[in-house]
Amino acid sequence: MKDELLLKSHLKTLRLPAFAKEYPGLARQCGEENKSYPDFLLGLCEIEVQQREVRSIAKRMKEAGFPAQKDLSDFDFQSAPKLNKRKILNLAQGEYLDQRENIVLIGPPGVGKTHLAIALGREACRRAKRVKFFTAADHGLCGGPGRAACPAPGKAHRPMRPGDRR
């Protein structure tokens, strides 16, 4: 009992929550299957790495500030026949991120710009990239001389200022 408490304490100190949660069951399973200690340790490491990746993606998605959960698999390309599907699917591969390029989606209301922006951003999060979702109105790109007016229902928008977190 003392060893178990000490082990849990060390695993907490080392920040290995999956080890702490999964080791009893995996130890039992490895014992029943006569697996070696390295196999047991490898199994724990695989679980820890997998759970960290899941938590990391969830954290990036939350930090991105997406207003909804949208994915490319949900997008109806049939409703936007002028949209180059191949180009969008290529963008989803993330090469533009490696080249430090941005994407700006422009078009009339209701064509799926927000859906595509969210979907591409979520895919970037899955590829371990940090993302910040915003609309033109959020970023202060609407209104003013030479700019189109953007509706801001129920919310005033201000331009980003130095020091604002993106």
Looking at the predicted structure, is the pLDDT value of residue 151 above 50? no
How far is 131 from 62, CA to CA, in rounded Å?
Answer: 10
pLDDT at 160: 44
Is 145 a residue whose pLDDT tops 50?
Answer: no
Mean pLDDT score, 38-50: 93
Distance set, CA 110 to CA 47, 48, 89, 116 (Å)? 42, 42, 20, 12
Per domain, the residue ranges of the chain are 2-64, 67-160
Q: How far apart are CA 16 and CA 52, in angstroms?
A: 9
Please tell me the predicted confidence (pLDDT) of residue 81. 83
Q: Is residue 166 pLDDT above 60, yes or no?
A: no
Average pLDDT over residues 50-75: 94
Better pLDDT: 165 or 134 = 134
67-160 carries CATH number 3.40.440.10: no
Looking at the predicted structure, is the pLDDT value of residue 163 above 80?
no
Structure confidence at residue 149 (pLDDT): 45
